[in-house]
Amino acid sequence: MGCSSSLPGRAPGLLGGLNSENAGPNDLRGFRVKLVLLGDSGVGKSCIVLRFVRGQFDPTSKVTVGASFLSQTMALEDSTTVKFEIWDTAGQERYAALAPLYYRGAAVAVVVYDITSPESFSKARYWVKELQKHGSPNIVMALVGNKADLQENREVSVQDAVDYAEKNGMFFIETSAKTADNINKLFECFVSHRDFPLDGEIQACPLLECRTHLLATRNTNKLMKPPDLFSIRAIHRIVQDPGSTDLHLIIILIINHTNKAKPYPYYLG
């Protein structure tokens, strides 16, 4: 099933606020969008991201511990690029309390359930409520029914999901990370049909000018032995480069970060 939404539509391939009348044909601009995936354990969140970012499907994919980070860049018709900074969160109950740290400041939230599991659909509704209470005021949400290749085992009807998505002003789409069905379409929906808050143009970030300063406080120094185990440059590389990274330590650094330094806007809100 393709992407459906009760939200205002836009011309395919265009993202409001990105176009520049003065931009030349070779003027390439890039923007970041923080995106978080939420949902029950085992619904295929990591598989969706892996398929989107690397074009791979791993049936032996391990359960996410805490969260992982990946990124992917999409090019739009006007030569603008949108870099999705993707936070893939753990679905286990014991990590639920950490979720607000991951979706804080997110422009887009993808709430995933398994079409063969009514329990996961119930959990998806829980996450939608949490986002409505504690997420960014203008956050754009998508309800995603994964494992669409298992139609013979379906226990959550398309109509139930569509009704819920429309009621809550969400995109809705069914995907299969295994077959890649609708995976790219899911992310195209965000840049084709809706304006959402952008974190600004991607800028160069020299070591001495980097605004993270996460290791410049006494609190964070207590966490590291030696304290320079992660330099500002290393932290910056983690959040810039494509790939998968366990973010437990990063979250600890963020929690212990003082308000003296201006936070990195894409990750600290």
**Which pLDDT score is estimated for 17?**
30
Q: Which CATH architecture has domain 30-192?
A: 3-Layer(aba) Sandwich (3.40)
Higher local confidence (pLDDT), 198 or 218: 198
- Of 117, 114, 99, nearest to 145 (Cα)? 114
Residue 136, pLDDT > 60, answer: yes
Higher local confidence (pLDDT), 184 or 100: 184
pLDDT tens digit sequence for 42-94: 898 889 988 998 888 876 665 554 456 778 888 877 777 888 888 887 654 55
Give the domain ranges of the chain.
Answer: 30-192
pLDDT tens digit sequence for 1-29: 666 655 533 333 333 333 333 333 344 46
Could you give the angle at the alpha carbon of 182 between the alpha carbons of 180 and 185, nearest 5°? Answer: 125
Q: Indicate the burial class of 159 (C-beta count within 10 angstroms; 0-12, 13-18, 19 or more).
A: exposed
